[in-house]
Amino acid sequence: MKNISVKKSFLYACLCAVFLVSCKKEIDKISDTFKDTVSSSEVQEAEKDSIKKDSVPVVKKESIPPAMQENGFYNAFVLPKDKKMRDSIYAEYSKKYSVEERTAILALNRLDSKSKWNADTLVVPAKIDTTLMAYSPFPMQLDVLSGVKKFVIFSYPIQAFAVYSNGSLVKWGPTSMGKKAAQTTRGLTFANWKKKLAISTVSTEWKLPYNFNIHNIGGIGWHEYTLPGYPASHSCLRLLRKDAQWLYSYADTWILNPGGATTKAKGTAVMVFGDYKWGGRKPWRKLLDDPNANNISVEELTKLLEPEVPKMLKEQSNREKVADSIKTAKAMATPIQNEKPVESPSN
């Protein structure tokens, strides 16, 4: 009887223990659920408060891209679509770079100051050279042109021009050549006449400062006009004002026979070559991946120019002879000034 009683007591104690453990687990479960509910609610409320407090900074951070993405020799200066944001970022950009530096940056992107908003990304050199010579895609020396005193070349693929004197690169810069529907004529030609302010034959509203004609019948020449960052002209070769002024003074015009109906001597040799990848990535954007992406090799230009050099030299020689003869004729025709008349001996 005693053993049975002990067993019953032990069994009763076990049942009580199981009951108590079960109750504790249920209570803990309820407690945890309550805590989770409260915690979740508090987090949601905290997030709401955070969004309310930080809504403006968060929007700003997500909407404005990094002003400068640095990745090497060339960096990307990103401009957002929103005009107000652009103005804000451009204000910082203007503080960072001088007028001359900004002009150089725009030139590398084939833009002028009027068209600075045309691009959503500007390619910016890590070190600014306002002469642009440090970034020249053209070779510094072309031996094939060593005998050619003056030569101007325009590249359609990279929308840029270069000037060589006796084979040495003296200048290069951006251009906007003929659009797809009105492409600039390729090949070798020679400079003709020039005019400080010409009026376009396409529209009288188009003023063309420092115009230098290279195709008289076609009315094609280089001059100052808007550079929008892509080929956009009606066959002409658009330039920045400073480049148009420089070339206006540098290049030689033709020399006409008396009466002006025929050419006695041709002007400076000019070459337009290559093809633009319409609809493709703008060539200057490739500089972000490879600083030598647009470089034109000596071999490529030598192969292009070598067949044309004899003609350049022939026209150059002829022009020098004609110019010398004209100079001599003028000197002979000009009366000697300030010569005192011989006085007759007095009687």
Residue 277 belongs to domain with CATH number: 2.40.440.10
Helix or strand holding residue 46 (H, E): helix 2-63
Residues 112 and 195 in one domain: no
Pairing of the two strands 220-224 and 237-239: parallel
- Token pair, residue 216, equals 């008289």
Residue with tokens 């100052």: 224
Output phi, psi for 268, to 5 deg.
-65, 140
Residue 239's pLDDT is what?
A: 98
Residue 92 and residue 67: Cα distance in Å, rounded? Answer: 9
Residues 150 and 249 in one domain: yes
Q: What is the pTM of this model?
A: 0.76
Q: Cβ of 153: how many Cβ atoms within 10 Å?
A: 23
DSSP characters for 173-241? Answer: EE-B-B-GGGPPPPEEEE---EEEEEE-SS-TT-EEEEEEEEETTTTEEEEE---BSS--BSSSEEE-H
Residue 59's pLDDT is what?
A: 32
Residues 116 and 142 in one domain: no
Tell whether 221 is covered by a domain.
Answer: yes
Burial class (CB in 10 A: 0-12, 13-18, 19+), 286: middle
Which of 152, 137, 140, 141 has its CA nearest to residue 312? 152
Residues 198 and 323 in one domain: yes
Q: Based on the structure, what is the number of domains in the chain?
A: 2
Residues 102 and 153 in one domain: no
Burial class (CB in 10 A: 0-12, 13-18, 19+), 273: middle
Residue 82's pLDDT is what?
A: 83
Domain hosting 197: range is 136-332
- Token pair, residue 326, equals 């004209």
Residue 70's pLDDT is what?
A: 57
Residues 86 and 115 in one domain: yes
Residues 157 and 280 in one domain: yes
Contact assessment for residue 256 and residue 244, using Cβ atoms and an 8 Å cutoff: no
Which of 118, 165, 169, 183 has its CA nearest to residue 140? 169
Mean pLDDT by 10 residues, the chain (347 residues): 47 45 41 37 37 33 43 82 82 90 96 88 92 96 98 98 98 98 97 92 82 92 96 96 98 94 95 96 93 96 98 98 92 67 41
- Token pair, residue 190, equals 């020679």
Residues 300 and 319 in one domain: yes
Rg (CA), the chain: 38
Tell whether 197 is covered by a domain.
Answer: yes
Residues 224 and 309 in one domain: yes
Residue 117's pLDDT is what?
A: 77
Nearest 10 degrees: CA dihedral of 324, 328, 330, 335?
160
Tell whether 4 is covered by a domain.
Answer: no
Please say which residue of 106, 125, 144 terminates a domain.
125
Residues 165 and 119 in one domain: no
Q: How far apart are the first and last CA of the chain?
A: 188
Residues 119 and 144 in one domain: no
Tell whether 179 is covered by a domain.
Answer: yes
Tell whether 28 is covered by a domain.
Answer: no
Tell whether 190 is covered by a domain.
Answer: yes
Residues 280 and 322 in one domain: yes
Residue with tokens 């703008």: 282
Q: How big, in percent rounded to 5, are the helix, strand and coil portions of the chain?
A: 45, 20, 35
Tell whether 55 is covered by a domain.
Answer: no
Residue 245 and residue 172: Cα distance in Å, rounded? Answer: 13
